[in-house]
């Protein structure tokens, strides 16, 4: 008997929004969602037919009411959660000139952090390779 192939990884974009001070924005997932109350880089699932860069700009507008300039991509990788596998697609971004300050529309909280502060947070497991790619230990 052959078993069905595993479903493909779900593409997920996330943004490291970097302030002029070098602090990066992190967001706390709402309690009711998968990985509730874990900290993450804001973002979400890429919609069918959408480019990753368009997806991250859309997600940040929807979730934080802010407009970003999408910059360089960090390495992509897959991460296995028990229920599903995701393909993480991180981008280094900045707020666009004149953008409203990011404010939580869906998240429990937002925080601007340094490389040492982020390492003290209860991050979503898939985010550690992103942290280590942006701030090599």
- Binding site residues, ligand 8DG, CB under 6 A: 12, 14, 33-35, 40-41, 43-45, 86, 124, 126-127
- Residue among 17 and 95 whose Cβ is closer to ligand 8DG: 17
| Beta strand ranges found along 18-119 (DSSP E) | 24-28, 39-40, 43-45, 68-73, 77-80, 85-95, 109-113
Q: How far is the CB of 16 from ligand 8DG (least distance, A)?
A: 9
In the complex, the smallest distance separating the C-beta of residue 2 from ligand 8DG, rounded to whole angstroms, is 28
33 vs 105, beta carbon nearer ligand 8DG: 33
**12: Cα within 13 Å, side-chain hemisphere:** 22
CB 81 within 8 A of CB 7: no
Q: Which helix (H) or strand (E) holds 16?
A: strand 10-17
> Residue 67 or residue 106: which is nearer to ligand 8DG going by CB?
106
Least spacing, CB of residue 44 vs ligand 8DG, in Å: 3
Q: How far apart are CA 56 and CA 87, in angstroms?
A: 14
Cβ proximity to ligand 8DG: between 110 and 124 the closer is 124
Q: What residue number has its CB nearest to ligand 8DG?
A: 44
Tell whether the torsion through CA atoms of 121, 75, 69 and 134 is positive or negative: positive
């Amino acid at each position: 008997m052959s078993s069905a192939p595993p479903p493909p990884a779900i593409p997920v974009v996330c943004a490291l929004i970097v302030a002029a001070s070098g602090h990066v924005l992190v967001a706390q997932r709402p309690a009711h969602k998968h990985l509730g109350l874990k900290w993450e880089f804001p973002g979400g699932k890429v919609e069918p037919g959408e480019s990753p860069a368009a997806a991250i700009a859309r997600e940040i507008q929807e979730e934080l009411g802010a407009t970003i300039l999408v910059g360089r991509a960090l390495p992509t990788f897959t991460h296995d959660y028990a229920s599903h596998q995701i393909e993480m697609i991180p981008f280094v971004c900045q707020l666009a000139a004149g953008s409203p300050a990011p404010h939580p529309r869906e998240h429990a909280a937002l925080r601007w952090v340094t490389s040492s502060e982020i390492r003290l947070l209860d991050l979503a497991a898939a985010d550690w390779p992103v942290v280590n790619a942006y701030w090599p230990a």
